[in-house]
Every structure is written in C-alpha cells, then in structure tokens.
Amino acid sequence: MGQVDQLRSGAADNRVANVFARQIGGEVETFWQVGRHVLARMHGKIEIAGRKLLLELFREKSFAADLGQGTVGDAVALGRQNDDFEHFLRKIVGCHQPISGFVRLCERQRAATRADTERFCLHPLCSVVTGVLVNRFNPYRNQRTDFMAPFLRILGIETSCDETAAAVVERDAEGRSNVLSDVVLSQLDEHSAYGGVVPEIAARAHVEALDDLIDEALKRANVSLSDVDAIAATSGPGLIGGLLVGLMTGKAIAKAAGKPLYAVNHLEGHALTARLTDGLSFPYLMLLVSGGHTQLILVRGIGEYERWGTTIDDALGEAFDKTAKLLGLPYPGGPAVERMAQCGNADRFNFPRPLVGEARLDFSFSGLKTAVRQAATEIAPLTDQDVADICASFQKAISRTMKDRIGRGLQRFKAEFPDLPEKPALVVAGGVAANQEIRSTLQALCDKNGFRFIAPPLHLCTDNAVMIAWAGLERMAKGVVPDDLDVQPRSRWPLDSKAGTVLGSGKRGAKA
C-alpha cells in the first residue's frame, strides 16, 4: 500500500468524516481529506520517509518539549505504540532527572510549541488545510451576524490539552443557560505512565475519540446538527496538534452543516463559565489556576479582559505536579499532594512564599519547587511521614502566597469599582480549584473583603466543552461576527493582548 493510500485508509475509517463527505460532496471532502492526511501523519501512518515532512510541518519541538525530539519523531513516524514510547521516554528520564523523574509536560509543551506557531501557520500544506482551500466557501465572511435570535443553541468542541470534549448548550434571550449535554473523555490513562501529557499521544487520542464524542453529545442532547445554530471550537491556546484536530473538525462540521463557526479562546471559556453557572454580571475578578495557567484576570465584558497578574515561571498545577513527581507520588500530582498533606505537619518545613508583600499581582512557584527539592534531598531516603510533612508544608506555603496575592487583587478591584450595584465577586477556575485548603483560603479572604466567592462545580472548572459552547453563545448573542473558515489554531493566545511580558519570565514571556 502506498503512502497516500495508507493516509486515505486512515481517513476512511472515520465515520463522521464519511457522513459529511456524502452530505456535501467534492469540495469539502477534499478539504476534510487534506486535514485527515495531516492528522494521519501525526497518527503514525507513514513510513520513515514521511518523517521529514512530519517534522517540517510540526517542527521538532512540537513533539515533546525537551524529551529527545528526534527520537520521538522517529517513533511517531514509524507508528510505534504507546509501549515503545514508554521504553525510550524512561531512558531519557533516567539520564536527566535523577530524583524527580519528569514532570507534566502540558505547560512546558505549550511554551515549546509557541516558537513553532508562526512557522507552522506559514507552512504551505497547512495553509491549504486551514486556509486557502476553504476561505472562499465561507458564506459568513465579512458579514455581520444576524444571530441576535432570542434563543440560541450551539455545539462546543474542546481538544486543547488532554481532555477530548463535546457539549450542546442553549442560551435564552435573558442569558439563562441550559446544558443539554456535556461529554468529556479524559486521557489520564494514556499519559499517566509518562508522568505528564505527551503531546503527540494527546493528538492521536483526540483524533480517535472526537467523532464519537460529538455523536454522543448530539445524541444525549436529543438534537441533530440541523438543530444547532453554530459550532464553537477551541482554537487556542494549547497543544498545537490537539487544537488542530478540534478546530479542523469544527470547520468541517460548520461547512458540512452550513453553520457559522466560532473559534474560541480556551481562557475565555474559563473566564465566562461563572455567567453560565451563576448568571454573574460584569465586571468580576477571575483566578485561573490549572496545570498550564495561573492568571488573575479582570473580566470587564465579553472580549474585554485585563490580565492583572500571571506566573513568571511555573503554573500552580505544574508546581503541584512537579512536587508530586519528585516525592514519588502518582500523576496528576495535585490530588496526591493534597491527600498526603492531610496527615502531615505543615510547620515542619518553612518553605518560601514567593513575591509575598510585593505590590505587583504576579505569581512565582519555581523557587518553592527548588526549596522542596533541596529539603527532600537533604533528608532522603524519605519516610511516608517525611513526604506527608513536605506536602503539608508545601501546601501551606502556597495558601499563604495565594492569600497575599489575591488579597491585593481584591483591594485593587474595590478601588477601581467602588460603586458596583452588587457585591463584587471572585471566580475561581482550573483543576487546582479542587484543592480544599486553597478553596477555604480564598473563601475566607472573600468573606473578609466583602466579596462573593464563586467556584463553579468542578467538572466546569476543569477543561470541558460546555464552557467553549457557552463562550461561543455569548459572542453570538452579543452579535460578534463568526470566524472565517481560514482561522488558524494558536498555541499561544493571551486573553489580554495588551498585557506585556512580565519581569522575570524569560525571553518568550510568561508561560501562563
């Protein structure tokens, strides 16, 4: 079987793609197949000769941050299975990180892929996939939307990291939400052996699951594609391979079903969730604390965000994951550290509280991680009690840091908005929001400062497609023009485009 045939067979077993191809005929079939071919390359369905093309397209760094990219590229191109990845990843880990193993890659990879974005988007094959070919078919191009309908329903797609998700959500004329379906497939099992998200495994898993998930979301919602008013797909920030899968799928469905497409910023999804769950009015303050992001954001309105603080090094979830890894706790690290901390002595180690007392509202966690490493190395081998004490002391240092940083944020919010008709609100989102100690610290802080503390249910705090659908609905309801079908995925896409690089964050700027 030749290379092209192999690629086509990769596309052929895709049920949704085939249905669409039948529905709409030639043009989109071509578009879809070109996209499928690119994804199939990532999917390891080409011979070694295709490796060069693969690497040219996605660049070496997109494969696995600093985990021996050439080796990973070879393995992907050869179509090796997960077991083989494990084999050589273990080897690399053994050389470089004697006590800590290797850490969650999600954020690291996000940073690594940034450098690739421009080249990625300029690549001729890519511009065929996401641009030129489909651009002229977009009926919504340069038109103001007339979707100010009193009632809107949308299909949302999320694939930016290690969760594949689809959802159908409605919004009525008063802005009330109705979640018809919410389907999330976590890739935890695929990645846990590696101690972090491996981007190309994530992209493969999205390809394999997304079609079925979309079918399932529509089925559970008891609607068909003709019943939705638009498609919303995450187009950044995140891992470029996963974004490509979700956005391509969103484009194909939009084209096939003749619906407008909203390319949604994943962070905007997090930022607007509290309006879905609690009907919150603008403005409010949002703290996003996940494996890839740590940001304090002023949400002024739809599309109006001001970043007040960000991390200058690691994200908070990343700090939890790295700490867990070096203590030999399982991935993901946050829940494991929290569990151990429950039986530890939080006063045994006096870990640093980075940036506490400083007027700026940024965060820093890499010094804390280093202090934990030093303490662990000094008393190694560690008993279970040592590990518990380190976890409790680490969590205490984080809680104190958050209390100081967020406390200052609340003060600034009150100073800027002294006359709000309602009690001001702090919203929290991201996986770290599950941490009980951090939650109760934030709750107490809000009580003390006269703020409402809003923590949406955990499944809507972590990555999901409901928030992507909702962000699309909010934009539609506001009359925002849908995106062209040549919209590109963006591994880096700050919510606040005016926010510059923060001091201490390295030449590429803050990670999150």
Site residues (CB under 6 A) for ligand KG4? 104, 106, 161, 290-292, 317, 320-321, 332-335, 338, 430-432, 434-435, 462-463
Helix/strand/coil for 86? helix
* Phi (first) and psi of residue 334, to 5 degrees: -55, -55
Would you say 59 or 293 has its CB closer to ligand KG4? Answer: 293
Task: Report the partner that residue 211 touches, choosing among Zn ion, ligand KG4, none (CB closer than 5 to 8 A by kind).
Answer: none
CB of 435 to ligand KG4, least distance (A): 3
Helix/strand/coil for 385? helix
Would you say 107 or 116 has its CB closer to ligand KG4? Answer: 107
**Any residues with CB less than 8 A from the CB of 497 and at least 6 apart, and which?**
none
Task: Report the partner that residue 320 touches, choosing among Zn ion, ligand KG4, none (CB closer than 5 to 8 A by kind).
Answer: ligand KG4
Count other Cβ atoms within 10 Å, centred on residue 78: 14
Q: Which two tokens stand for residue 457?
A: 């249910």
Task: Report the partner that residue 334 touches, choosing among Zn ion, ligand KG4, none (CB closer than 5 to 8 A by kind).
Answer: ligand KG4
Q: What angle do CA 357, 362, 366 make, to 5 degrees?
A: 95
Task: Report the partner that residue 332 touches, choosing among Zn ion, ligand KG4, none (CB closer than 5 to 8 A by kind).
Answer: ligand KG4
Would you say 117 or 290 has its CB closer to Zn ion? Answer: 290
CA distances from 214 to 15, 184, 204 (A): 11, 10, 16
CB of 71 to ligand KG4, least distance (A): 26
**Burial (Cβ within 10 Å: 0-12, 13-18, ≥19) of residue 119:** middle
CB of 456 to ligand KG4, least distance (A): 12
Would you say 50 or 291 has its CB closer to ligand KG4? Answer: 291
CB of 326 to ligand KG4, least distance (A): 14
CB of 364 to ligand KG4, least distance (A): 17
Count other Cβ atoms within 10 Å, centred on residue 181: 21
Task: Report the partner that residue 291 touches, choosing among Zn ion, ligand KG4, none (CB closer than 5 to 8 A by kind).
Answer: ligand KG4
Cα(313)–Cα(364) distance, integer angstroms: 6
Contact 458, 418 (CB under 8 A): no
Contact 487, 261 (CB under 8 A): yes
Task: Report the partner that residue 344 touches, choosing among ligand KG4, Zn ion, none (CB closer than 5 to 8 A by kind).
Answer: none
The residues of the shown chain that bind Zn ion, judged by CB under 5 A, are: 290, 463
Q: What angle do CA 160, 236, 362 make, to 5 degrees?
A: 100
CB of 267 to Zn ion, least distance (A): 7
Would you say 321 or 463 has its CB closer to Zn ion? Answer: 463
CB of 35 to ligand KG4, least distance (A): 24
Contact 492, 294 (CB under 8 A): no
Would you say 113 or 393 has its CB closer to Zn ion? Answer: 113
Taking the CA atoms of 467, 471, 476 and 481 in sequence, report the sign of the dihedral they define: negative
CB of 339 to ligand KG4, least distance (A): 8
- Residue 256 corresponds to which amino acid? A
Would you say 50 or 196 has its CB closer to ligand KG4? Answer: 196
Q: Which residue's Cβ has the minimum distance to Zn ion?
A: 463
Question: Residue 8 carries which DSSP code?
Answer: H
Q: Which residue's Cβ has the minimum distance to ligand KG4?
A: 334
Cα(74)–Cα(47) distance, integer angstroms: 10
CB of 408 to Zn ion, least distance (A): 24
Phi-psi region at 211: left, alpha or beta (left = phi > 0; alpha = psi -120 to 50) = alpha
Task: Report the partner that residue 231 touches, choosing among ligand KG4, Zn ion, none (CB closer than 5 to 8 A by kind).
Answer: none
CB of 420 to ligand KG4, least distance (A): 29
191 closest CA partner among 102, 270, 113: 102
Task: Report the partner that residue 432 touches, choosing among ligand KG4, Zn ion, none (CB closer than 5 to 8 A by kind).
Answer: ligand KG4
CB of 307 to ligand KG4, least distance (A): 18
Cα(329)–Cα(48) distance, integer angstroms: 37
Would you say 234 or 435 has its CB closer to ligand KG4? Answer: 435
Task: Report the partner that residue 268 touches, choosing among ligand KG4, Zn ion, none (CB closer than 5 to 8 A by kind).
Answer: none
Would you say 290 or 441 has its CB closer to Zn ion? Answer: 290
Beta bridge partners of 299: 284, 305
Would you say 54 or 427 has its CB closer to Zn ion? Answer: 427
Cα(129)–Cα(30) distance, integer angstroms: 10
Would you say 83 or 189 has its CB closer to ligand KG4? Answer: 189
Chain length of the chain: 512
Cα(187)–Cα(6) distance, integer angstroms: 26
